Structure 1
Amino acid sequence: MSVTDFVNQYGVDRRHTNSLKWDALDERFGDATLTPLWVADMEFREPASVTDAIIERVRHGVFGYAIDDPAYFDAFNNWQQTRHNLSLERRWLTFDNGVVNSLYTIVNTFTKPDDAVMVLTPVYYPFKNAVTDNHRTLITSELKHDQDTFTIDFADVEAKIVANDVRVLIHCSPHNPIGRIWTPKELEQLLSICARHNVLVVSDEIHQDFEIGDCKFVSALTVADGRYNDHLIVLNAPSKSFNMATLLNSHVIIPNATLQTQFLAGQKCFNQVELSVLGQTAGEAAYRTAGDWFDELVAVIRSNYQYVRDELAVKAPAVHVANLEGTYLLWLDLRSVVDPTTIHEFVQNKVGLAVDYGEWFSDEDQGCIRLNLATKPEFVHAAVQQLLTALVH
């Protein structure tokens, strides 16, 4: 199926559907006419195999308390084995209503007030919120970057772990917003530092399926044949891959039995969770039947990325476009062409976009923006042309 055919078949108009991305523009940005490229969800509907499974479950008419179905684990594990060469044990897996929920539970369970928790910035801002909202000490290590490629400053990470007695490191893999897929060597170096200093690593792998370039995603669970799994919690969900965030079904993968017992006790204390029946139904159907749909979706994202990169390389080469290896979120550095202090006025009033701003991810990155490419090409093309026009004027 071509990109055009996929967009025609699965693209939807989300206006007036209580969509946060589309219907909260006036509330969040003060302008309902902006083109929304901010919230990390999509303008594409599920394949029929997924919606049919949901409809069949709805027809039963009862949505009471539930237990997880072994068929769900089988479908999920098969997806992991096929896509990522990762084999899970059933006992490792428990469920939550979202990755961010799990972060809050983990911070409360494995640290005390004022304990230090580290993130690598710029990073998805709920990571930082999970630390500061719970009165822990936020420690940041800024990623190094050479033009359009970002790397971890391992010396800085280790020095700050030691200096601040960091207890937990929340890691984003692939990294949102800068789009890196970390190599096995990078992951092992980070994990070995944390193991050496008894730091629990929480690896958010929710974007694991989005391999946009040639790099293959590597789960922290597979690094060095699982050598670091006793110091590791992995979070992921079907919500990003299959556009089902509000079905409230996510995974917490903990190989170490003691850590899992502690997490479950913390979850009961801080965030009592019941399974989402429709989330489980949809997730199982997606993992079983939606592989082709997902591959076609990635082709759309890849095409959108190539368009942005190629157009800006020719017509605005001073704009730095991060190399997009994973996720569907593209990081643009506009600081060479726009005064960072006027970035909001420029992007909203002159370009006409609603985006996530760099300073949301790091204090060091005002003047950068994040664009969501999991949308119809017409929106991406219009955004680029509007940006080019605004830069000329």
Structure 2
Amino acid sequence: MYIVKNAKLLDGRKVSIGIENGIITCVGECRGEELVDAGGKLVIPPYFNMHFHLDSVFLPVQNISGTLWEGIRIWKEIKGKLTEDDVIKRATTAVKLMVAYGTLWIRSHADITEKEFKILRALLKVREELKKIADIQITAFPQDGIYTDKGNDELLYKAVELGADNVGLIPHNEITREDGVNSIDLAFNIAKEFNKDVDGHIDETDDPNSRYLEVVAKKTIENNWFNRVTAGHVTAMHSWDKAYRYRILPIVSKAGITVIPNPLVNAVLQGRLDEYPKRRGMAPIRELLDHGVNVALGHDCIMDPWYPLGSGNMLQVLFMAIHLDQLTGFDELRNSINLITYNAARAWRTEYGIEEGKKANLLVTNAEDEIDLIRFMEPPRYVIREGEVIAKDGRYVLINGRWEEVKRKP
């Protein structure tokens, strides 16, 4: 048995963690060959990135206005010109960077309105090639909308046939309210036929009249798709009046929908037409949690048409969420780590945690506790996946048995 010794857990216990054949077999006083010495520092399960775009990551473009609309225009102009090799190169760099920062589960959207499926095929290859260091899910995402262009509905269906893990949608991008509702129906029909989860961009707008989340909740309940739906962004919720949120959020909770805010990107994209004061443009995390809605976070973008920054560090995402939603009460701050760990695992529907019988997925950090972890946002000293050290110090990852230095961009 291998052990991670001198580990401090989130509940304050100081333990050793025993590992055999990639499984945690002991938490407490364990004896065995030392794998790593945690030195009394915090050891936690790894992070999730529940909403990302690997297809556009690291694109060398300039969004002069910094707006969502210019980003959409840029992407529309260049996506058909991308090659599989280019997408694979950029996406691979991003995954390695995220793994080095402690993220072992990544859910990425693939724009399937690129009609030749070069993007989708590239990301499916990345999913396969990097499966030893990360679990990657690909969502078939109709970026331009399902009913905005003839045949996009067929593309969505075919993308799932080709191997996409989840069915995507973007109802607020459809031309009419009716088309938006129909797009939700189609997504659920495809999800049920192929037994897939639904993973949508929902109400990503400042328009308070954008209320597709209520339709998604109703369809989730009608189709008995409980706990199998995620709603990304939902920035319009920030503009909904409180009485409406009070009515609809218990229904979202009943449906088991997970809401995925993307605080880094939406903090700069939303409220662009506002004078001062500007809306923060992020789904209200505290209010969602108070209504029993599961909430997890996404990084969304790194250096692409919509966002010129980003490091792949989910602690940076969490740090921004804490500030935007003012989650600085002592218990709120301590529990906020769940937004990139346990809450996300619930949405992913995977076994998770530092318990006997669970897979030995661990981060050995430099932090004394979760508050220090968030304060300094340092990469983990060691990333352990199924009992094997696969990344060190935010600088190195183990690929096919060889250590390589992580690139910050291609």
TM-score (norm 1): 0.32
Which of the pair is proportionally richer in strand?
2
Higher relative contact order (CA 8 A, sep 6+): 1
Which of the pair is proportionally richer in helix?
1
TM-score (norm 2): 0.31
